[in-house]
Amino acid sequence: MYTKGVRSKALLALILSTLLIRTAYAERFPEGTTSSSRGSSPSEWNLCATSGIGLALGIAREFVYSGAYVVSELVWPMEPLVFWESGLRLERPSWGLRLELRLRAGLDGRTGTMSDSDFLNMDGVKTHFSAHECFTERAMLADIELSREARLGTALTVGGGLGLTLMRFKWTARDGYLQYPTERQTHYTPWTAGLPKEPHYGTGIVYEQNYLIPSLVLRAGWACTRNARLSLTVALSPLAACDDLDNHVVRGLDFVERMRGGLSLLGTLRYEHVLREGTQLWISGDLRLVGRLVGDTIVTHLTTGEQSTYGNGGGAGLGLGACALGLSLSL
């Protein structure tokens, strides 16, 4: 049922994006308009709008630490996540200057099974485990890039610049089962897959991650043919920041972390093919990795309002790969 719903939403998003581009193109360049009458010139500013649809696969991780030891690890899957992409690109070819904005919005729904593992014997052996249906309720990504390129011969370009990435995610864990040992607050029997599964009903955990990542951008491009171009972009950052919120609904607890100084890598490979003057078909693939994020944990008891703080008690990470297909229109 969910798969059918995702396919319907994805098809609708693709149809809408295609109609928007075709409508804008028809209004901007009516039949009979020639390339010379459009006024396009390498010395002028060029504005381009893009729209498309894509599929992402990956996971977000949530950690609980006691010193350097991992007490708990939660894995939130996006397998898969369908998204709609749109963007704007402003460039001045004679200067090699480029300003680009890309937006992605994921379609909400079930995206896999999340897992919650505890290692409470402090020896690296799993003691508690639970699995729940994972629903992605929010997945919004924005990438902004300002760069400048220089030509190396007639086909190659290289350049660099600055980038900024903002990402907001929200997941909910529902239903599922628990596999807990019978001991309470003592040395626990190690977990095994054969332990009885205790059913769980309703919402157990709601988790959010909000990222802000400034980065250094490196670019390279190759004009494969007269109408085709291949480009590679790499964005690196040691300044990734993430604020997260873990709401344990059943326990009535909120866990909040403010994490700074993480490492981030975003690599994007993009192919563009000119269909006709002012219109391009593009295909892209990218990989996002964010890690080494650690920060203090503030625990709030929702019934009493009492708060406790644990130094470097929480961590987060993200690994997300995506591919997308769409159209670009010169405005």
Whole-number mean pLDDT of the chain? 90
* pLDDT exceeds cutoff 80 at 227: yes
Q: What is the pLDDT of residue 201?
A: 96
Mean pLDDT of the region 90-119? 96
Q: How many other CB atoms are there within 10 angstroms of residue 326's CB atom?
A: 22
35 is a domain residue: no
Percent of the chain topping pLDDT 90:
82
Domain count across the chain: 1
The CATH number of the domain holding residue 248 is 2.40.128.90
Residue 4's SS3 state is: helix
Question: Is there a contact between 183 and 190 (Cβ–Cβ < 8 Å)?
Answer: no
**Would residue 109 count as lying in a domain?**
yes
Q: Where are the beta strands (DSSP E) in the chain?
A: 46-66, 69-92, 97-106, 109-118, 128-152, 156-179, 198-199, 203-222, 228-248, 253-276, 279-301, 307-330
Question: For the residues 285-310, what does the mean pLDDT come to?
Answer: 97
pLDDT tens profile 43-71: 589 999 999 999 999 999 999 999 989 99
Taking residues 286-308, report their average pLDDT. 97
Residue-wise pLDDT tens digits, 10-46: 445 555 555 555 554 455 445 444 333 444 455 589 9
Min mean pLDDT across 29-38, 70-79, 238-247 is at 29-38
- pLDDT of amino acid 4: 46
Structural domain containing residue 73: 2-30+43-330
Q: Is residue 36 part of a domain?
A: no
Q: What is the 3-state secondary structure (H, E, C) of 73-140?
A: EEEEEEEEEEEEEEEEEEEECCCCEEEEEEEEEECCEEEEEEEEEECCCCCCCCCEEEEEEEEEEEEE
- Is residue 279 assigned to a domain? yes
Query: In the prediction, which pLDDT does 41 show?
Result: 54
